[in-house]
Amino acid sequence: MRSVGKILIAASVSVCLFAFTPPKDKIKKKKFIDPVNMDQSVKPGENFYLYANGNWLKNNPVPASQTRWGSFNELAQLSTQRLQTLLQDAASNAAKNPKVQKIGDFYTSGMDSAGIEAKGYQPIKAELEKISALKSVDGLLDEVAYLRVNGVPMSLLSISIGQDRKDVTKYIAQIGQSGISLPDRDYYLKNDPRSTGIRKAYASYLTNLFSLTGKTGAEATKSADAVMRIETALAKAQMSRVEMRDPYKTYNKFSWNDLSATTPSINWKSYGDKLMIKGMDSVIVQNPSFLKSMDLLLSALPLDDWKTYLQWQVISGAAPYLSNDFVKENFTFNQVLTGQKGMTPRPERISRLIDGSLGDLLGQLYVEKYFKPEAKQRMQELVNNLQQTFADRIKKLDWMSEETKQRGLEKLNAFTKKIAYPDKWKDYATIAIRKDDFLGNIQQTNKFAYQEMVSRIGKPVDKTIWGMTPPTINAYYSPTGNEIVFPAAILQFPFFDFDADDAVNYGGIGAVIGHEMTHGFDDQGRQYAGSGNLSDWWTKEDADKFKSRADRVVAQYNDFTVLDTLHVNGRLTLGENLADLGGLSIAYEAFTKTPEFKAGKKIDGFTPTQRFFLNWAQVWRSNTLPETQAQLILVDPHSPGMARANGPLVNIDAWYDAFNIKEGDKMYKPKDERIRIW
Ligand SMILES: [Zn+2]
């Protein structure tokens, strides 16, 4: 949903429904749609997002330790605080309770600022010296494999084991484009003031970190130049994010031998062994020309430059976890990228890190303490209602042939639904976590994740794995799994609340459910069949009709100006925008079947339909720092909050009727310009 692959979102709530249930009388008084947060001086048809959220936006600036602030962030902050409570408790019980030893000692190691300070960059020193002593490109590549297998954070060589898109019953190795440190290739290639400013700050960051690891001023500058040259060359070889959305273009199957023929510096068969990828005869390469360029650069550029580059990968990957001088440099550079005013407090940083690395251990404790099991049941009912409504809508589509409809329905009915938390938790027994080795612990967990991944080779596909942890405020659709997934923590207000009326729950989590389902039928998802395989189930005519409708959605979103000259990239955000439009339309129709809708009684001054759309807008309220906004426009496949709230509305008749939107209102679109796809 939010920054989530197919993820729904990337993300005020003050009411923590599950943990601290307020007294009954307070619940009754709670306003799920609170006029205090609205700005009724703005007409709904002028800017619905501001009408619904104007006062909230004025009164809730981005806190110093954040880069944006909205419904998702408020809940994420609540999750982090809860994790922190669990971890503090685990830390004090780690010695006597084996169940919490790993997360407790991990937390202790991360909070041991004096111990971390005393070590300086000692934890990576031996690795840097080892790289200095390398004598050949082969040696360099071996070192890359060693770092990868042993969990040293590093961005060169993205290698993973995942389902084969064309035969999802099997795992296959996949090699992606990678190797740059800035958030997108554009930062290296564009010459506007924003990009050049960031490059300048990056050069200082490089120089400063090299100085901190013992290089003299001149050496540090020279090293920084070398890294910049290599990363710029790699950036040039990368595909754009829009190109990467094409699942066929990024599916290039090679035998190891054929791949080796395209990259003379690398014998992939034996290199695969070094990467612990054994017993596989082929590999999928996302961008073959990137690998070719990387290979050419390996022989064209001086080995010393490559060694410096690899050292940089090790230094920058470790910087946030070393002594204060490294952490500060890392933060100062991130400030230029994101605009964040103050550093995130250490306990929060450590809590999020452990959620990301031992998530199933921490997630179990989170679910026990903070999740109400009844919510799962209620959620299953909502998902089923939405699925049924979606099916009815497909049957009624006026632009699609019966043949394609039938296959679409098969796909919809084949959805796997995962709600709240996994049925099977990961076992981390083989990881040794120590109280006094923070970076070592990070590497241990990375190493475990890598080995767990390669251990899947040759085994049946494990469908119980989750791509998000329970305390995550998000949701996702996986095309190869044909599954929709909703972690426990998103089942909170404003998405969902037991005590809220249906309008609020359907406008919140209902639209989120519809969003994830529609991902199965967006510009990417529709190319996968119900089995999860990439295979075309559309007639040519229906596919053409879909594309021309989708092109109109691209044009609508291209029109949103975000920041000075920056516009939404309608092509990059197409999948998410289609999911929002489909999701909201399906959720609304499902809502019309509820008793609340049928009774039509106002609550707190608003009709059921008004409350439905007001909560939809409430979900997307968000203040974002301009620097972060500029970055998101380039890298985030999700549109900004205002575009997500307003974008689908202009295409939905019920919204016009509910708020009496008329010709002449800024958001008004004539009926023939309203886009209906799903
Ligand atoms: Zn999404």
Tell me what the mean pLDDT of segment 190-194 comes to: 95
User: What pLDDT does 29 receive?
Assistant: 67
| Rounded Cα gap, residues 333 and 340, in angstroms | 10
- Distance from Cα 514 to the centre of ligand 1, integer Å: 10
- Distance from Cα 576 to the centre of ligand 1, integer Å: 5
Q: Residues 520, 479: contact at Cβ < 8 Å?
A: yes
Ordered structural domains, the chain, with CATH = 124-321 (1.10.1380.10), 374-431+459-673 (3.40.390.10)
User: What pLDDT does 22 receive?
Assistant: 42
Q: Which amino acid is at 358?
A: L
What is the b/e burial string over 508-521, where b = at least 16 CB atoms within 10 angstroms of the residue's CB?
A: bbbbbbbbbbbbbb
| Distance (Å) of CA 362 to CA 80, 88, 582 | 11, 12, 34
- Distance from Cα 482 to the centre of ligand 1, integer Å: 14
Token pair 């080796």 is at which residue?
260
Tell me what the mean pLDDT of segment 28-48 comes to: 93
- Distance from Cα 636 to the centre of ligand 1, integer Å: 11
- Distance from Cα 574 to the centre of ligand 1, integer Å: 10
Residues for the chain: how many in total?
678
Tell me what the mean pLDDT of segment 662-673 comes to: 97
- Distance from Cα 414 to the centre of ligand 1, integer Å: 19
- Distance from Cα 475 to the centre of ligand 1, integer Å: 8
- Distance from Cα 518 to the centre of ligand 1, integer Å: 9
- Distance from Cα 399 to the centre of ligand 1, integer Å: 24
pLDDT digits (tens, 9 = 90+) for 298-311: 999 999 999 999 99
The answer to whether the Cα torsion of 64, 69, 73, 74 is positive or negative is positive
- Distance from Cα 1 to the centre of ligand 1, integer Å: 3
Q: What is the DSSP string of 212-272?
A: HTT--HHHHHHHHHHHHHHHHHHHHHSPPTTGGG-TTTT-EEEEHHHHHHH-TT--HHHHH
pLDDT digits (tens, 9 = 90+) for 392-417: 999 999 999 999 999 999 999 999 99
Tell me what the mean pLDDT of segment 126-153 comes to: 96
| Rounded Cα gap, residues 295 and 137, in angstroms | 10
Q: How many CA atoms lie within 13 A of 400 on its CB side?
A: 22
Q: 359 by DSSP, 3-state: which?
A: helix
| Rounded Cα gap, residues 141 and 134, in angstroms | 10
| Rounded Cα gap, residues 204 and 542, in angstroms | 53
Q: Average pLDDT over the chain, rounded to whole?
A: 94
Q: 544 by DSSP, 3-state: which?
A: helix
pLDDT digits (tens, 9 = 90+) for 382-394: 999 999 999 999 9
- Distance from Cα 472 to the centre of ligand 1, integer Å: 15
**DSSP one-letter code for 97:** -
| pLDDT range class, residue 4, cuts 50, 70, 90 | very low
Q: Residues 48, 659: contact at Cβ < 8 Å?
A: yes
- Distance from Cα 492 to the centre of ligand 1, integer Å: 18
Task: Give 583's contacts (C-beta < 8 A, 6+ positions apart).
Answer: 511, 512, 513, 514, 515, 516, 517, 518, 648
pLDDT digits (tens, 9 = 90+) for 229-252: 999 999 999 999 999 999 999 999
Tell me what the mean pLDDT of segment 171-199 comes to: 97
- Distance from Cα 634 to the centre of ligand 1, integer Å: 17
Given a cut of 70, whether residue 138 has pLDDT beyond it is: yes
User: What pLDDT does 1 receive?
Assistant: 57
| pLDDT range class, residue 5, cuts 50, 70, 90 | very low
The answer to whether the Cα torsion of 597, 639, 409, 677 is positive or negative is positive
Tell me what the mean pLDDT of segment 47-58 comes to: 98
* 252-255 and 282-285 strand pairing: antiparallel
| pLDDT range class, residue 135, cuts 50, 70, 90 | very high
pLDDT digits (tens, 9 = 90+) for 153-167: 888 889 999 999 999
- Distance from Cα 34 to the centre of ligand 1, integer Å: 27
- Distance from Cα 579 to the centre of ligand 1, integer Å: 6
**In this structure, what token pair is assigned to residue 555?**
């044009």
- Distance from Cα 575 to the centre of ligand 1, integer Å: 7
- Distance from Cα 169 to the centre of ligand 1, integer Å: 25
pLDDT digits (tens, 9 = 90+) for 357-375: 999 999 999 999 999 999 9
| pLDDT range class, residue 57, cuts 50, 70, 90 | very high
Given a cut of 50, whether residue 663 has pLDDT beyond it is: yes
- Distance from Cα 55 to the centre of ligand 1, integer Å: 27
- Distance from Cα 9 to the centre of ligand 1, integer Å: 6
Task: Give 160's contacts (C-beta < 8 A, 6+ positions apart).
Answer: 173, 174, 176, 453
Rg (CA), the chain: 25
Given a cut of 90, whether residue 118 has pLDDT beyond it is: yes
| Distance (Å) of CA 218 to CA 100, 224, 301, 487 | 48, 10, 20, 50
Given a cut of 60, whether residue 19 has pLDDT beyond it is: no
| Rounded Cα gap, residues 420 and 436, in angstroms | 34
- The torsion region of residue 515 among left (phi > 0), alpha (psi -120 to 50) and beta comes to alpha
Q: Residues 335, 60: contact at Cβ < 8 Å?
A: no
Task: Give 404's contacts (C-beta < 8 A, 6+ positions apart).
Answer: 537, 538, 539, 542
Q: 160 by DSSP, 3-state: which?
A: strand
| Rounded Cα gap, residues 352 and 77, in angstroms | 10
Tell me what the mean pLDDT of segment 492-496 comes to: 97
Question: Of all residues in the chain, what percent carry a pLDDT higher than 90?
Answer: 94
Tell me what the mean pLDDT of segment 504-520 comes to: 98
- Distance from Cα 8 to the centre of ligand 1, integer Å: 3
- Distance from Cα 72 to the centre of ligand 1, integer Å: 14
User: What pLDDT does 564 receive?
Assistant: 77
Beta bridge partners of 173: 161, 283
- Distance from Cα 463 to the centre of ligand 1, integer Å: 21
Residue 494: cis peptide before it, omega within 30 degrees of 0: yes
- Distance from Cα 519 to the centre of ligand 1, integer Å: 7
The answer to whether the Cα torsion of 596, 598, 603, 606 is positive or negative is positive
- Distance from Cα 508 to the centre of ligand 1, integer Å: 14
Question: Of all residues in the chain, what percent carry a pLDDT higher than 70?
Answer: 96
